[in-house]
């Protein structure tokens, strides 16, 4: 974690000036901590767990229960618990780190921002979006005052928060968070920068989910020409084209929607693997518009290819597969193939019955 090298090793050096008997414990602590972090970065949380627990135990013995250096080991173990889905335990460790740092360093120290970002991630995955929002605001406030950027992109934290709101269908709150994301790159880089365009896409998607089609269209159309002039922007362009295509489909312009979806699929074919689910989703957007236009012969191979990719990559019982099986069933019904449609519908219903 950022700051460990300077904070913990400095504290340990002070101990060693008093006694060389602790040198073996120091080696064990550093080895356990480094190994826990290495495995966590690889998402090998089960393997990381004993090392993180050992590091915390040794830190408490060395520094006591309230020393600022203990917070690093608390957060290392919190990351492991988070990765294992033990969110309540992760939250408790982050909160303990916050308490230690506020007492030792004050409420605006950069290390405290690290604790609030960790809490935000836990709250987000618990679905506690309002508390995640509060943690993000605390972290961003500290970062703004100190200029500390070792925690990564603070705007990305707000983007993750917005997605938390969207998962709960709180689209107005998501749009508010994303407006904060949008303000930062426009002020820092100018309104024509790629970062500003990417923020516009996120805002556009939130507005699309709210049914604010005119506003979403404005966001996507502002973003698209900026991205088209930017290098390395193929994936954001795909996301923008899909969003704009969904807007135009909802507004009844199937011709433009088809053009936008087809263009997004052409780019996706070039940048994604042939069995990538993101490509499959694009194929099925094109298929759906063909179906609405009555072009069943054009739509069917796209449905079949997209479903095949989803089934191969996500498994035969994934809930996403059920959505597209139902869409394909509707195509079969509309084209007079009732028996095949029933088979697809039954497959979809069987998948849904297996969902928790």
CATH, residue 50: 1.25.40.10
CB 185 within 8 A of CB 195: yes
Does 162 lie in the same domain as 114? Answer: no
Nearest to 88 by CA among 75, 78, 73: 78
pLDDT reported for residue 167: 72
pLDDT reported for residue 288: 94
Domain final residue, candidates 128, 152, 176: 152
Domain final residue, candidates 108, 129, 152: 152
Does 83 lie in the same domain as 2? Answer: yes
The region of weakest confidence among 12-26, 79-93, 160-174 is 12-26
The residue range of the domain holding 262 is 158-266
Alpha helices in the chain (DSSP H): 4-18, 23-41, 45-63, 70-83, 87-105, 110-126, 129-146, 154-167, 171-189, 194-210, 213-228, 234-250, 254-271, 277-292, 296-314, 319-334, 338-353
The region of weakest confidence among 71-80, 161-170, 223-232, 277-286 is 161-170
Does 103 lie in the same domain as 63? Answer: yes
Q: How many CB atoms are closer than 10 A to CB 141?
A: 15
Higher pLDDT, 292 or 207: 292
Interval 339-354 mean pLDDT: 94
Does 135 lie in the same domain as 10? Answer: yes
pLDDT reported for residue 256: 96
Res. 304 pLDDT band, cuts 50 70 90:
very high
Interval 208-235 mean pLDDT: 88
pLDDT reported for residue 117: 84
CB 196 within 8 A of CB 185: yes
Does residue 188 register a pLDDT over 50?
yes
Percent of the chain exceeding pLDDT 90 equals: 44
Domain final residue, candidates 91, 123, 152: 152
Query: 178: Cβ–Cβ under 8 A, 6 or more apart, which residues?
Result: 158, 159, 162, 199, 202, 203, 206
Does residue 320 register a pLDDT over 60?
yes
Q: How many domains does the chain have?
A: 3
Distance between CA atoms of residues 313 and 324, nearest Å: 14
Alpha helices in 106-212 (DSSP H): 110-126, 129-146, 154-167, 171-189, 194-210
Q: Which tens digits make up the pLDDT trace of 97-143?
A: 999 999 988 888 888 888 888 888 898 888 887 788 788 778 777 87
Does 173 lie in the same domain as 145? Answer: no
């Amino acid at each position: 974690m950022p700051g460990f090298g300077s904070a913990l090793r400095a504290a340990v050096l002070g101990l060693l000036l008093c006694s060389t008997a602790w040198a073996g414990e120091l080696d064990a602590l550093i080895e356990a901590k480094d190994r826990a972090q290495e495995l966590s970065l690889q998402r090998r949380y089960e393997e990381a767990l004993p090392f993180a627990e050992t590091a915390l135990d040794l830190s408490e013995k060395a520094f006591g229960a309230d020393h600022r250096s203990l917070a690093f080991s608390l957060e290392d173990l919190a990351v492991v618990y988070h990765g294992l889905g033990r969110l309540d335990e992760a939250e408790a460790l982050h909160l303990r780190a916050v308490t230690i740092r506020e007492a030792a360093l004050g409420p605006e120290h950069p290390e405290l921002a690290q604790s609030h970002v960790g809490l935000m991630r836990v709250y987000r995955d618990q679905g506690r979006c309002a508390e995640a929002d509060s943690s993000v605001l605390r972290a961003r406030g500290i970062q703004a005052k100190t200029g500390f950027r070792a925690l990564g992109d603070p705007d990305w934290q707000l983007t993750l928060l917005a997605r938390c709101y969207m998962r709960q269908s709180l689209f107005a709150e998501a749009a508010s968070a994303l407006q904060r994301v949008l303000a930062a790159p426009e002020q820092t880089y100018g309104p024509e920068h790629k970062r500003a365009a990417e923020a516009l896409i996120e805002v556009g998607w939130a507005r699309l989910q709210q049914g604010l089609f005119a506003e979403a269209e404005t966001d996507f159309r502002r973003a698209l020409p900026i991205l088209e002039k930017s290098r390395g922007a193929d994936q954001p362009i795909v996301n923008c084209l899909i969003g704009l295509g969904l807007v135009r489909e909802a507004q009844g312009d199937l011709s433009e929607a088809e053009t936008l979806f087809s263009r997004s699929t052409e780019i996706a074919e070039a940048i994604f693997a042939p069995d990538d689910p993101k490509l499959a989703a694009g194929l099925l957007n094109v298929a759906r518009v063909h179906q609405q236009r009555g072009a069943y012969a054009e739509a069917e191979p796209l449905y079949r290819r997209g479903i095949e990719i989803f089934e191969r990559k996500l498994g035969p019982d994934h809930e996403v597969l059920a959505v597209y099986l139902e869409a394909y069933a509707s195509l079969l019904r509309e084209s007079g193939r009732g028996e095949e449609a029933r088979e697809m519908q039954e497959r979809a219903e069987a998948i849904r019955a297996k969902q928790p």
